[in-house]
């Protein structure tokens, strides 16, 4: 989205910011960077249209955000892959002397909804319902669909954000250039993401693992798969949302 929205200011060249900065440094998190520790950021210093990231549940966002004209692009993922990714990621961030969280312990907490931003299913459903009621405000995307049809989804995001590709951009291969620059393979192999750190201290490589659909099959035993599938079917029942 950073590359898409800033394609006039930052053409895709060897000097593109994404080649020398981690995406988290280019798209600041509301709750992790901008407003953490009761900071009051000067948003007027940021170029418009401003682009932010967040993991905050929709119902937890302030009324001013709900009433604003800002748009949301919400990306979710199959709960089994989400769980495996979360397990690996949180263990990467733990101090060595703390040891690692076991798969079983983390699974139990995930199923009970004990995660940093609340229960996975409630989080997804809130944005899903809002996207159904206000499709002009919330664009609901699935990671699996993005992986399967990246070109169509990128065009869809551009349309939703009000910056569609022109005929000239299409003919020049702009869509393919953005997809290549922003691909998992390209970003994960950059020096900044293999050896660099965020200003908050986390290693950039912690944010890149495999980026594959269905990796849960390499980690979860049958009983865990069945339990997650049962919870998901129960939680999403009647919503029209399926994985």
The string of pLDDT tens digits covering residues 136-148 is: 999 999 999 999 9
- Residue 46 has what pLDDT? 81
**16, 24, 55, 88: which is the annotated catalytic residue?**
55
- Residue 44 has what pLDDT? 83
- Can 55 be counted among the known catalytic residues? yes
Question: DSSP string spanning 109-139?
Answer: HHHTT-STTS-HHHHHHHHHHHHHH-TTTEE
Q: Please give the structure tokens belonging to residue 146.
A: 């993005």
Q: Rounded to whole angstroms, how far apart are CA atoms 93 and 105? A: 17
Q: For residue 51, which of 6, 9, 11, 117 has the smallest C-alpha distance? A: 6
pTM score of the predicted model: 0.92
Question: DSSP string spanning 24-50?
Answer: HHHS-BIIIIISGGG----GGGSPSSP
Domains of the chain with CATH codes: 2-236 (3.40.50.300)
Q: Rounded to whole angstroms, how far apart are CA atoms 204 and 198? A: 6
Residues in the chain predicted with pLDDT less than 70, given as ranges, are: none
């Amino acid at each position: 989205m950073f590359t898409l929205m800033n394609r006039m200011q930052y053409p895709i060249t060897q000097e593109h910011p994404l080649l020398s900065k981690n995406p988290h440094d280019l798209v600041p998190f509301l709750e992790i960077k901008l407003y953490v520790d009761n900071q009051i950021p000067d948003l007027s210093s940021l170029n418009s249209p401003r682009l932010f990231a967040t993991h905050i549940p929709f119902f937890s966002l302030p009324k001013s955000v709900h009433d604003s004209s800002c748009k949301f692009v919400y990306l979710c993922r199959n709960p089994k892959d989400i769980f495996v990714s979360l397990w690996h990621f949180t263990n990467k961030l733990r101090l060595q002397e703390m040891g690692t969280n076991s798969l079983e312990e983390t699974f139990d907490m995930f199923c009970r909804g004990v995660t940093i931003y609340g229960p996975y299913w409630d989080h997804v459903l809130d944005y899903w319902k809002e996207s159904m009621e206000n499709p002009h405000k919330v664009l609901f995307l699935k990671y699996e669909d993005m992986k399967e049809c990246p070109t169509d989804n990128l065009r869809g995001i551009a349309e939703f954000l009000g910056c569609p590709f022109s005929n000239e951009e299409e003919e020049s291969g702009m869509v393919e250039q953005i997809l290549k620059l922003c691909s998992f393979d390209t970003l994960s192999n950059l020096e900044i993401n293999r050896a660099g750190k965020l200003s908050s201290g986390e290693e950039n490589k912690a944010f890149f693992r495999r980026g594959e659909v269905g990796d849960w099959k390499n980690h979860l035993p049958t009983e865990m798969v069945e339990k997650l599938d049962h919870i998901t079917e129960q939680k999403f029942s009647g919503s029209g949302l399926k994985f």
